[in-house]
Structure 1
Amino acid sequence: MDEHIIEAAGKCRVVIRNGKVVDVGIPLISDCPLARRFTCPVNEMTPEAIRDNIQNRIDSFGMCTPHRDIISKEAFVGFGASEVISTSLKSRFIDAAVIVCDGAGTVVVTKPEMAQGIGGRMSGLISTSPIADVIDRINEGGGIVADPLHASLDPLAGVHIAKKAGYEHLVVTIHDPEDARTIREYDPDAIIIAVHTTGYSAEDAEIVRQYADIVTACASRTIREICGPYAILQAGSSVPVYALTQAGKHLILLRMAVIEYPLFTAHTDLPVTGEKCPRPLI
């Protein structure tokens, strides 16, 4: 079955089949400043608005279809995971990135434009089905699909494959905190970015604090409370991104160096909370 399940706009479960949104859950938050800035904005957190946003992504760049665009040079947010990863690949600070792609599952990419094209406009991927055209284009572009038969989401398998291919310096995105632990045990030097953290328990946030290098706060109260005080660098204040290690800090500084618009930096205690945060934090 061609089925793809994502979490969008604050832990809202969305099911896509054959290029159409077929089911939208009830959003768990009522407002998100980032969602208001989408190409198809979600100004009010309703199932109808979220459905329109996801269908717009399907129609505009082929998300969850054989027409999926996987190459992009456009940065959509300042310090999103894909923007940080693509900058790090371009600077050659890392050799490869282990990320996920709808229609392909866990993939290993080495080209900045592919990292940005795959991750830049995609919400939290929970499960996906293999799409041959998408897998073929990733392979033709120099990427590696970890499980082309099932398109499974398995970052540790992606790390294994990347190492086997000869890539030593990796960045890995994770959603399940336990993946941060297992990847750190297997590859102590991997740079781990925890993404889509809305709804994390206190235990989840503590695992990420111990094992991740960068964490996106999303609409997570526990990430702000548990990881925020341990941050050594914070990017953004409404939906902050925390660097928890020197390696994570370096990746964000690389990103800062190539941003063309003005930036403000200051020495202060962290975390810093912006006036416009997602509501409620969960």
Structure 2
Amino acid sequence: MTEQKDEHIIEAVGRCRIVIQNGEVVDVGDAKISSCPLTRKFAHPVSTPDKESVKANIEYRIKKWGMCTPHREVIETREFVGFGASEILSFGLSAGMLDAVVLACDGAGTLIATTPALVQGIGGRMSGLVRTVPYEDVIRRIEEAGGVVIDTESATLDQSAGIARAYELGYSKVAVTVAVPEEAKTIRHQYPDAFIFGVHVTGLDHDEARMLVDASDFVTSCASATIREAAGEMALVQAGVGVPTFAITPTAKDILLEKIRRSNAQVLIRTTKLPVISEEQPDPLV
């Protein structure tokens, strides 16, 4: 494994740009929002995403789960939110509706996961990953859990390469998380049967939002006004009203409804024009 600077860049809590070096938070950028109902429910809550609060939240994740360090935990069975990307994709695997998920992890880059606990352990604790470096210990844990890391030398973030490798390995019901609209469009063109989950969407302009929604099966809304508009027009099902997740295609609708069917939680079902938005939204929507 080649020697690289121990630096990670993530975007979290209103798309703050956060730099972590050698397990320490060394820089926190400005958030695009002033409040979010989801961040107030974090294990280490963020009421107002100022730099000090965001730094404290990331430091908690580093200490608690080893994020962006060689101690990074990759297995989890608990759900953090009802209809988050990792929760939905983990369920898809457990229900046999998916057989592989391509996602990204700090300390490993793009990988293929085939077990629900690995998807939840990585995705449930992962914010928008911009850059990372490989850690042998993290890669080993992923591989011991049945995962396949695409680039063990450089921890490259390349979802297109990840989904290509998944098909090469013989998987046929492959899901992939994608944050870049152009990449989602490319994947949809090259792999029409892929199951695409659009994530990390805060700050997309109208054209980018439309491109991502057009290419996706599921899309999260984060603090994006443009995704709420574009996905609301096309979605078959909306889950949640504060920071909603949208099922765009019949396949996504099937997974979401099956997750609801197997849950013991109380659920309200009604037909209506989407999106349905509550007063508890990220502020402002950008």
Name 2:65's counterpart in structure 1.
Answer: 61
CA deviation after TM superposition for structure 1 residue 155, in Å: 0.6
Name 1:40's counterpart in structure 2.
Answer: 44
Alpha-carbon contact 1:105-1:147 (below 8 Å) kept: yes
Equivalent of residue 241 in structure 2, options 214, 234, 237:
237
Alpha-carbon contact 1:232-1:249 (below 8 Å) kept: yes
Q: Distance in 2 between matches of 1:30 and 1:14?
A: 17
Q: Secondary structure at the match of 1:63?
A: coil
Gaps of 5+ in 1: none
TM-score between the two structures when normalised by the length of structure 2? 0.97
Deviations 1:220-268 (A, max 9, x none): 0110112211111000011010111111112212322333321111111
**2:269 aligned with 1:265:** yes
Q: How many residues align?
A: 282
Residues 197-276 of structure 1: pairs in structure 2 closer than 5 A: 197-276=201-280
Q: Distance in 2 between matches of 1:26 and 1:258?
A: 40
Name 2:179's counterpart in structure 1.
Answer: 175
Equivalent of residue 143 in structure 1, options 147, 162, 171:
147
**4+ aligned runs moved over 3 Å, structure 1:** none
Gaps of 5+ in 2: none
Equivalent of residue 166 in structure 1, options 152, 164, 170:
170
CA deviation after TM superposition for structure 1 residue 203, in Å: 1.1
Corresponding letter in the other structure for 1:23: D
Alpha-carbon contact 2:198-2:213 (below 8 Å) kept: no
Alpha-carbon contact 2:112-2:149 (below 8 Å) kept: yes
Name 1:92's counterpart in structure 2.
Answer: 96
Alpha-carbon contact 1:107-1:144 (below 8 Å) kept: yes
Q: Secondary structure at the match of 1:75?
A: coil
Deviations 1:42-68 (A, max 9, x none): 011200000000110000011111111
TM-score between the two structures when normalised by the length of structure 1? 0.98
Corresponding letter in the other structure for 2:45: P
Equivalent of residue 50 in structure 1, options 33, 54, 68:
54
Deviations 1:99-144 (A, max 9, x none): 0001100000000000000010211111111111101111121110
